[in-house]
Amino acid sequence: MATRARKPSASSTSARTGTARAAATRAQNSAVAASPARVEVRKTYKLYIGGAFPRTESGRSYLVVGDDGTLLANACRASRKDVRDAVRAARGAFPGWAAKTAMTGGQVLYRVAELMEGRREQFAAEVEAAEGLRPAAARAVVDRAIDRWVWYAGWADKIGQVLGSSNPVAAPYFNFTIPEATGVVGVVAPETSSLLGLVSRLAPPLVAGNAVVLIASEKRPLSAVTLTEVLATSDVPGGVVNVLTGFKKELVPVLAAHEDVDALDTWGVADEMRTEVETLAAEDIKRLARRPTTVAEARFDWLDDAATERPEWIAAFLEMKTVWHPIGG
């Protein structure tokens, strides 16, 4: 009588499968160990103009070192032409950005904070290297920068109500005062705070509806370039923010003298350049926002919310328009 073959038990099948998987894993691990070490993909730090990442037209670069002197990167050394290109991009983007409703503008800027949160560790590493902070302190600075961006974004649909008014007049007219964006704003970022100071000066003109040409910290520009990568993947239209890296003594006077720049934030201008820059800005009557002469930049505490979360920093980049309208038909 023929004997039927016995069906393998589930336990024996499982054991053979486990053995095969283990062998495959060991083989894969051996292959990985035997493969040559990969070459690290180094980051290239470029300019940010019109929503794109061009290299400087001059082809120049300069070394960026950390607080301890370690070489961190080669950054683009922007030229006069790069400044002109950035201003042209900002001018083209300004009408569309200024025309957005206050609620939409606030939502767009809040999205930037969401994306910054996703790059929190990258920002922290850059702040740590640039400013010589301990890891925990660097993370705290990044957290405060994100929170500050949210704080300013929240003012987008409120600043008009705070500054605007209905004025009493002795005539059959309505008389309203309405804040409007100034136009293209040049911002010279602080040197002492690579991210938190940058956010504190960049956010106010954006909330006001302006387009910005920003000259990043000369010694600590890497966080600014990473922020442009956030902006490029956010809903902020290309050209609304343009960021240049390089030597301030070469770039700031060109920006201050440019006749298509409507306002200038000189917080990050060195004291020895201040008179020259303000004189150039005055030639075509630019609005000027500057650090008080009694405040030393090196001693300013960017972590102080009371000193840095201020609606008047937004108001500095707004023009007040008065409108008359007859009552009735």
C-alpha count within 13 angstroms, C-beta hemisphere, residue 296: 2
Q: State yes or no: pLDDT of 325 exceeds 70.
A: yes
Residue 192's nearest CA partner among 117, 294, 303, 285 is 303
Residues linked to residue 289 through DSSP beta bridges, in sequence order: 265
Strand, helix or coil for residue 195: coil
Tens digit of pLDDT for each residue in 104-121? Answer: 999 999 999 999 999 999
Averaged pLDDT, 209-224:
97
Q: Residue 4: its pLDDT value, please?
A: 57
Tens digit of pLDDT for each residue in 222-236? Answer: 999 999 999 999 999
Q: State yes or no: pLDDT of 32 exceeds 60.
A: no
Q: What is the CA radius of gyration of the chain?
A: 27
Averaged pLDDT, 246-274:
97
Residue 184's nearest CA partner among 92, 267, 104 is 92
Q: State yes or no: pLDDT of 27 exceeds 70.
A: no
Domain ranges in the chain? 43-59+76-326
Q: Residue 19: its pLDDT value, please?
A: 72
User: What confidence category does residue 324 fall into, taking pLDDT thresholds of 50, 70 and 90?
Assistant: confident
- Report the distance separating Cα 64 and Cα 82, nearest Å: 20
Q: Residue 116: its pLDDT value, please?
A: 98
Q: Residue 85: its pLDDT value, please?
A: 98
User: What confidence category does residue 293 fall into, taking pLDDT thresholds of 50, 70 and 90?
Assistant: confident
Averaged pLDDT, 77-91:
98
- Report the distance separating Cα 288 and Cα 205, nearest Å: 12
- Report the distance separating Cα 221 and Cα 73, nearest Å: 10
Q: State yes or no: pLDDT of 28 exceeds 80.
A: no
Would you state the CATH architecture of domain 43-59+76-326? Answer: 3-Layer(aba) Sandwich (3.40)
Averaged pLDDT, 53-72:
95
Q: Are 317 and 182 in contact (CB under 8 A)?
A: yes
Strand, helix or coil for residue 79: coil
Instruction: Take residue 270 and report the two structure tokens written for it.
Output: 């060195």
Q: Are 45 and 221 in contact (CB under 8 A)?
A: yes
Task: Please state the pTM of the whole predicted model.
Answer: 0.86
Contacts of 137 (CB under 8 A, 6+ apart): 128
